[in-house]
Every structure is written in structure tokens, then in C-alpha cells.
Structure 1
Amino acid sequence: MKSETEREKIEQAYREIEKYRDKVEKDYYRLQYHLMPPVGLMNDPNGLIHWNGVYHVFYQWMPFHTGHGAKFWGHYTSCDLIHWKQEKIALAPSEWYDKDGCYSGSAIDHDGVLTLFYTGNVKDEHGNRQTYQCMAVSKNGIDFEKKGVVVTLPDGYTAHFRDPKVWKKGDKWYMIVGAQSESLDGKAVLFRSQNLRDWEHLGPITGGNSRQLGKFGYMWECPDLFELDGQEVLIVCPQGLEAEAMRYQNVHQSGYFVGRLDYETAQFLHGPFAELDRGFEFYAPQTMLDAKGRRILIAWMGVPDQDEDKHPTIAHRWVHALTLPRELKLKDGKLYQTPVEELQMLRKDKIAYSNVTIANEEMILEGISGDVIELNLENICLSGGIMEIAIRNTARIIYHSDERMLTLERKSFANGLTEKRQCRLERLHSLHMFLDTSSMEVFVNKGEEVFTARFFPYKHNQTISFAANGHLVFDIQKWSL
């Protein structure tokens, strides 16, 4: 049963949804096929799980304004990853151990019970923080009952200790938590349990100021450890990395290590850190394993502290969204991300051209335009020079074949100036793009690289043009979505 305080908080949130429903829904920049908050601010996806044939996506949510604060857990469900239903609010900040926020966490199936683990955030009148790892349960996947604290802060860490991800290995449960050590280094910390209530602290499996990494961020958020294609992958969001040429250009980063966890010694032996997404808005990714055996990733289409107060949607009382679901594959030690195949169900009104040839000119292809579309360029062959795709006069994708460099440019929604994100790319042979009024996700070379970004074009400019300084040939398909 929910406490009286939790019921009151949830009722307040529903009143906020009704109060601003018309204002939110009238915003042109509202997305058409991505998950968004009904009002207020959305950030980290939480509790991703495929349970009893249903995909569950919970998310961090501040219903009362478009800034951060005492977060709730919102909740969406789907049977096909395409059609989503907004469910009852799952968690609200109400108890002594989570009164200042039900922070990020994960979900498992425990003997048929959908079980959530999350971080309870508590602050005193001076702003001093305490954190607790907490549990909540549901028999129907919709109504959740809090069970209280299962892990308190162990010695050696600051109160920046959060985002538990739980899984089972053999007959034991494991929990990994993002942490900051007392020496202000980011860590990924492992726990073990037989019963989900009593947890043994095994220590950090890897982290900053280690022999493997050296100084590598002052805090690690949103860890996620899973097996994929015969190896183990640790996804994590290190804060405090210095920019290095084209790497680490956002305020905070999201990436992964590939290696092997020794469950006896609690040590993760791994290779170098690699960024998951090269774009402007991508953070707090989490994965789930579905009944088809796919490892599916969804992330927050945003970054903490990155011009959040400048988003045009704030005028309509909402901000941020989640990425499309992406299937992960591991090839030669590198994660590839591809949009889940179910997204093809959205397609309509196909237009296709083969052997489009552009030589030292700019071209507009009839019917290749729009604001809610999917574009797929294949068999790209650029014989020297530069290829450019201009999208709605607000973003450009540029490939420089001599420099082997791919660039995404956009007009900043903060100040209107041009900004860019880049990566090295030996050869460009395909671009698969999803445009959705104010977002773009670009899958390069069948998921070898991905660029995710928000952008805010003028409503009536839906033009897409192609240009080449050199000789360019490609096939293209376009669908309305």
C-alpha cells in the first residue's frame, strides 16, 4: 500500500498534467514517435525490462517545473516498442529515505514479482546529501509498494552513490552502483545478495585513479553491466572528463568498456573507454534483455547541465525525451547500435531513388523532405572531396573523404551559433536517419557510429538537400512516419 504522503504527491502530479495539458500538446516541437514527459522535465530512463510480454520503461520525472528537483518515476508500457501507454506514476518522493527524489535504478523479475531498485535522495536544510538504495515491488507491473532501504552508504564513498543496476548470475544477485570515492574519483561498485534484502559490499570493480585508467572522472553515473556476444560490457557515464580533440565534447559523457568481470575477486579487466554516441544529446543509457534475446538500449536525449534552460519547449512547460530503442551487437570489441526492427511498422508513403549522382553541385530530390521522416542512404560512394546533407536549414551532416572525418553541425538553440560534433570514419557507406520534428538520430555504417541531437528548425522549412564537392553516388529511401 502506498503511504498517504505518496498518494498526495501523486495526486499533485496528476493535477499538474491536467493544468498544462493543452499548453504542452500545442507545441509544434512535441515529438511524434519518441517518449516524452506529459509535462515538466524528463531525464534518465529507469527500470527497463521485458516482463510478462510487455516492455516497461520508467523514467526520471519532475512534473512541477522544467528544472531538476525531487524526482518521480514515470512509467510507459508497450507490447511492440512502437505503441506506448502512459501508466500510473510508479514512485513519488515521499518517505524519509527518498523525500528529495526517487533517483535512477533498475528492474528485475523475482519469482514473478516486478521488483524495482532505486536511489533514495535525502537533503537536510543545509543541502547536505544522504543516499539510500531502495526497493519497491509490484505483482501486476503497475501498482508499486515501497519496501524501504536495502543498501546504506558503505565506508570510503561520498553521498554521490546512486543508480543501482541489479541482475542474477548463477544463484546470486548482483548490484552495481555508480559512485564517487572520498578521494573524488568515479567508481563502479559491486554488491552481492542471496535474497535481495541483505547485500554484501564487494568493492569497486573499476574506476578512476586505478592502474588501468588513471584519473578518469570525479563521479560515475548509471552503470550497467551485461553479457553480450560472449563478452561483458560495462556502460557508465563518467563526469569530469576533459575534452580530447573530437572526444568528450559534451558536459558529461556516456560510454562503455569491454572486458571480463571476475565475480570472485570483484575485478573487471577491460579495454579502453569508448563513447556510445557522438552527438549533442545522449546520456544515462540503460539496457534490457527481451524475450527475443536482444540487448536493447534506450537513453536520455539530453545531457546534464548542457543549456537545459534554453530549450524552446520550456515555453510550453516540458523538456527532453528518450532515444529510440536500439539493438546492441558486439563486433571486434566495438558496440554497434541499430534501431529495433519494429520501427519499420511506422513506415508509410515510400519514395526511393537509385544511383543518385551528384558532381560538384547541390541537389534537391523530389519528395525527399519533411519533419517526421526516416531516411536511408546506402551504397554511398564518394570519390574524393566532401559530401554534405543539409537538413531543414538547421543541421548539416558532412563527410570529408580526404580527412576521413564525419561531422554533425547544428544551429545552437542556446545562442544560434553553429556548433559541431565529429568522429573519424575510415569510409562512409550508409546513413540511416530518423527525424522527428525536433530530434535526429543518425546511424552511420549500420550502427558503427551514432549521432543523436535535438534541433529546432522553423516549422515550414522541411527542405533536405544533398551536395558534393567531388563525385558522389548513392541510393536513397524515404518514408513518412
Structure 2
Amino acid sequence: MKSAIEQRQIQLAQMEIEKYRSIVEADPYRLSYHLMPPVGLMNDPNGFIHWNGAYHVFYQWMPFKTGHGAKFWGHYTSCDLVHWKLEPVALAPSEWFDKNGCYSGSAVDNHGLLTLFYTGNVKDEDGNRHTYQCMAVSENGIDFVKKGVVVTLPDGYTAHFRDPKVWKKDDDWYMIVGAQSESLDGKAVLFRSKNLTQWEYLGAIAGGKQKQLGEFGYMWECPDLFELDGQDVLIVCPQGLQAKGMHYQNVYQAGYFVGRLNYETAEFVHGSFTELDRGFEFYAPQTTLDAKGRRLLIAWMGVPDQDEEKHPTIQQRWIHALTLPRELRLIDGKLHQVPVEELQKLRKNEIAYTNVTVANEEISLEGISGNVIELKFDIHQLEGMIEMQIRNNARLIYHHDERVLTLERKSFVNGLTEKRQCRLEHLLSLHIFLDTSSIEVFVNGGEEVFTARLFPYPSNHSIVIAANGKCIFDITKWNL
């Protein structure tokens, strides 16, 4: 049973939803088919799991303001990854071990119990941080009871020790935690358990100041380790990387290593770090394995500490959203991301053109426009440069000779043009999901992905295609 304090916290959060519901829902930038907070601030997805026939996505939530603070766990469920139901609050800050926030974590099925692991955040009277890895359980997947602390801070680490991801391999449970060592470099730290309540510290499996990494961030957040096509993949969010050419352009990064984890020695032999998304807003990804055997990923469509106070939606009492769910595939050592096939259920009013030629001109095709749409753009021939202008706010540009793909947008902070780029040997296809205030671009079947928030004039639905040279392509549009 929830404590009286937690029940009161949840009641206050629900009152906040009701108080500002009409203001939030009136925002023209409110997204159409993405997960968003009912009010306040949303950040990391938590506890992403397919359990008892339903998908569950929990999320970091501050209901009382559009800034950060003592976080709750909000909760959505879905039977198809498309249509989502807002559930009652799962966790609220209330106990001695989480009174200043129920921070990020994961979920597992333990003999039919939906079991959550999260970081309890505590600040003492002097402002010092303390963190605990905690557990909560539910029989029905909706009502959760906290079971308290299962892992305390091991020696050698600062209190920046959080975001437990738990999974089972053979007869043992494993937990990986994002950490900062006392020497102020980021680590991914592994534990093992037989019963989910008593955990053995195995050590750091990867982190900065290792031979293969050198200096690589002062804190690693939101780790996730899983097996895919016979390889072990470690997703992590290192903080403190310096921009390097087209790489690491956001204030914090999200990416992965591919390798092999020795579960006995806690040694992870891996390759280089690769960013998961080339866009402006992508962080804290989390994966799950569903009943179809797919490794699915969902992420925060935001970045911490990056002009959050300038978002246009703040005046409407909400901020941030989650990405679309994506299926992961490992191809030649590289993660490819593709939108889950269930999203095709949203399609309506298809308009298609084949073998369109654009040569040293710009064109608009009748019916190829909108603000809540899906676009598939397949290239047959390209000489020179091709660009797609989207709602007079963003541009996708590919220079065939330079082998560079660029996403430009008008900054919502100052209105100036800003860009993110990647090198791309050939542009074969773009698969674009456009929502009222977001864009997700899957390039060449998910070889690269760009995710960003856009805030164009709501009435502008234009899409213009231009070529400096010659391009022959097919294009299909659906309203969603």
C-alpha cells in the first residue's frame, strides 16, 4: 500500500493536470501521435517493457512546473505502440530514500510481478546529494508498492550514480548503473543478483580513462546493455564530450558501443562509440525486448540543460515529448533504427508520385504538404544537390559530391539557422515522420536518424523540393 505522503503527492499531481488541462490542450504545438506530459515537464523514458500483452512506458515527470525538480514516474500503456492510455502516477517522491525525486530506471517481469528499479534522489540539509537504487512492485501493472533500497553507493564513486537497467541472463539478474568515479570520469557499473534484492558489485565494465577511450566524459547516464544478433550492445549517454567536427554537437550525447561482455570477469571488450541520432533533440534512450522478439527503443525528444527555458510550449504549461518507438537492427556492426511497423495503422489519404524529375528548379507537388504526415522519398538518380524545405522552418540538404547530409532549422531560441550533419556515402531514401512540432528522419532504411523539435507557424504546411543538378525520385505521403 502506498504511504499517506505518496498518496497526497499523487493527488496534488492529478489536481495540477485538471487545473491546466484546457491550457495544455489548446496549444497548437501539442503533438498528435507522440507521447507527451499531461502537464509540466517530461524527460527520460523509464521502465519500457512489454508485460502481460501490453507495452508500458513510464517517464520522468515534473507536474508542478516546466522546470526540473523532485521527479515522479508518469505512466502510459498501449496494446499496439500506436494508441496510448494515460495511467495513474506510478511513483511519487515521498520516502526517506527518494524524497527529492524518483529518478530514472527500468522494469522487469519477476514471476508475474511488474517490478520497477529506479534511483532515489535525496539531498541533505547541507545540500549534499545521496542516491539509492530502489525497487517497487505491482501485481496489476498499475498500482505500485515501494520495497525500498536494494543497492547503496559502492566505494569509489560520487553520488552521481543512477539509472539502473535490469535484465536476466540464464539464472542470474544483472543491473547496470550510470556512474561517476571519484576521479570524475564516467563509468558503466555492473551488479549481479539471484533474487533482485541482494546485489553483488562486479565492477565498471566501461568508462572514460580506459585505454580504448581516453578521456570520455565526466558522467555516464542511462546505460542499457542487451544482446542483438550475437553481439552485446551498450547504450550510454556520456556527459562532457567536446564537439569534434560533425560529432557531439549537442550539449550531451547518446550513443553505443558494440562488443562482447564477459559476465564472469565483468570485462566488456568493445569498439568505438557511435552516436545514435544526428539531430538536435535525442537523449536517454531505453530499449526492451517484446513478445515478437524485437529489440525496441524509445527516447526522450529533448536534451538536458539545452535552452529548455526558451521552448515555445512553456507558456502553455508543458514541455518535451518522447520519440516514436523504433526497432533496432545490427547491420555490419552498426545499429539501424526503423519506425515500428504498427505505425502504418495511422496512415490515411495516400498520395503518391513516381519518377518525378527535378532539375535546377524547385517544385511543390499537389497534395504533398501537411503538418501531421508521413513521407517516403526514394531516389533513383541524383546529380548535384537535393533539398527538401519543410514548413518554411527546416531543410534537409544532401550534397552528392561532398557526401554530406544536413538538417537545418530555425532556432526556437533566436530564430537563426542552425544545423546538424553527418557524412553519408549515398542518399537512397528518406522516411520522414512530421508532427505539429517535431520531425524524425530515417535515412537509408535507418542507417542514420535525425530527430528534432520544430516550431513553424502553425498555418504553414508547405513542402518544397529543389535540386541544384538533377534528381529523379518517388514520393508518397500519408496523413496521420
State the TM-score bracket (shorter-chain normalisation): over 0.9
Query: Residue 379 of structure 2 contacts residue 471 of structure 2 at CA under 8 Å; is this kept in 1?
Result: no
Report the residue type matching 2:414 in the other structure. Answer: N
Q: Structure 1: any 5+ residue segments left out of the alignment?
A: none
* Residue type of the alignment partner of 1:228: L
Q: Say whether the 8 Å CA contact 2:260–2:270 is kept in structure 1.
A: yes
Cα distance between partner residues in 1 of 2:381 and 2:179: 46
Asked if the contact 2:359–2:470 (Cα under 8 Å) also holds between the matched residues in 1, the reply is: yes
> Superposition pairs for residues 400-439 of structure 1, below 5 Å?
400-439=399-438
- Per the normalisation by structure 1, the TM-score is 0.99
8 Å contact from structure 2 (residues 104, 118) kept in 1: yes
Tell me the alpha carbon deviations over residues 47-105 of structure 1, each in whole angstroms, 9 at most, x when there is no partner. Answer: 00000100000000000000000000000000000110000100000000000000000
Q: What is aligned with 1:280?
A: 280
Q: 2:205 matched to which residue of 1?
A: 205
SS class of match (2:475): strand
- Matching of residues 283-294 of structure 1 within 5 Å: 283-294=283-294
8 Å Cα contact 2:24-2:38 kept in structure 1 = yes
Letter in 1 for 2:443: V
Query: Could you tell me how far apart the structure 1 residues matched to 2:36 and 2:380 are?
Result: 34
Question: Counterparts of 1:364-403 in structure 2 under 5 Å?
Answer: 364-383=364-383, 385-403=384-402
The whole-number CA distance in structure 2 between the counterparts of 1:235 and 1:440 is: 23
- Give 3-state SS (helix, strand or coil) of 2:296's partner: strand
Aligned residues: 480
* 2:452 paired residue number: 453
* Aligned counterpart, 1:41: 41
**Cα distance in 2, alignment partners of residues 250 and 457 from structure 1:** 21
Instruction: Look up the match of 2:330.
Output: 330
- Give the C-alpha shift of residue 127 in structure 1: 1.9
Q: CA deviation at 1:459?
A: 1.1
**CA distance in 2: counterparts of 1:61 and 1:110, whole angstroms:** 25
Q: CA separation in 2, counterparts of 1:171 and 1:355? A: 56
Map 1:80-479 → 2, pairs under 5 A: 80-383=80-383, 385-479=384-478
- Alpha-carbon distance between aligned partners in 2 of 1:212 and 1:115, rounded to the nearest angstrom: 36
* Aligned Cα root-mean-square deviation (Å): 0.5
Distance 1:346 1:247 in 2: 34
Contact in 2 for aligned 1:71/1:92 (Cα 8 Å): yes
Give the conservation status (yes or no) of the 8 Å contact 1:380–1:428. no
Aligned to 2:15: 15
Task: Tell me if the contact between 1:222 and 1:237 (Cα under 8 Å) persists in the aligned partners.
Answer: yes
Q: Give per-residue Cα distances to partners, 1:157-214, cap 9 Å, x unaligned.
A: 0000000000011101000000000000000000000111110000100100111211
Tell me how far apart the structure 2 counterparts of residues 261 and 284 of structure 1 sit (CA, whole Å): 22
- How far apart, CA to CA, are the structure 2 residues paired with 1:70 and 1:309? 18
Q: Percent identity?
A: 78
The runs of at least 4 consecutive aligned structure 1 residues that moved more than 4 Å come to none
The 8 Å contact of residues 379 and 427 in structure 2, kept in 1 or not, is answered as no
CA contact (8 A) 1:101 1:122 kept: yes
Name the structure 2 match of 1:68: 68
Deviations 1:200-241 (A, max 9, x none): 000100100111211100000000000001111000000000
Q: 1:125 Cα shift? A: 2.9
Q: Tell me how far apart the structure 1 counterparts of residues 118 and 459 of structure 2 sit (CA, whole Å).
A: 43
Counterpart AA for 1:104: S
- Provide the C-alpha distance between the structure 2 equivalents of 1:45 and 1:125, rounded to a whole number of angstroms: 30
SS of structure 2 residue aligned to 1:362: strand
1:380 Cα deviation after fit: 4.1
Hey, what's the Cα distance between the residues in 2 that align with 1:220 and 1:117? Answer: 18
Q: 1:396 to 1:304 in 2, by over 3 A?
A: same
Distance 1:311 1:380 in 2: 39
C-alpha distance in 1 between matches for 2:464 and 2:127: 51
Any conservation in 1 of the 2:133–2:164 contact (CA below 8 Å)? yes
Q: Distance in 1 between matches of 2:126 and 2:200?
A: 31
Deviations along 1:275-301, one digit per CA (max 9) or x if unpaired, are: 000000000000000000000000000
Q: Using the alignment, how far apart are the partners of 2:378 and 2:289 within structure 1?
A: 29
Contact 1:380 1:430 in 2 (8 A): no
**Superposed CA offset, 1:297-342 (max 9, x none):** 0000000011100000000000000000000000000000000000
Task: Report SS of the residue matched to 2:23.
Answer: helix
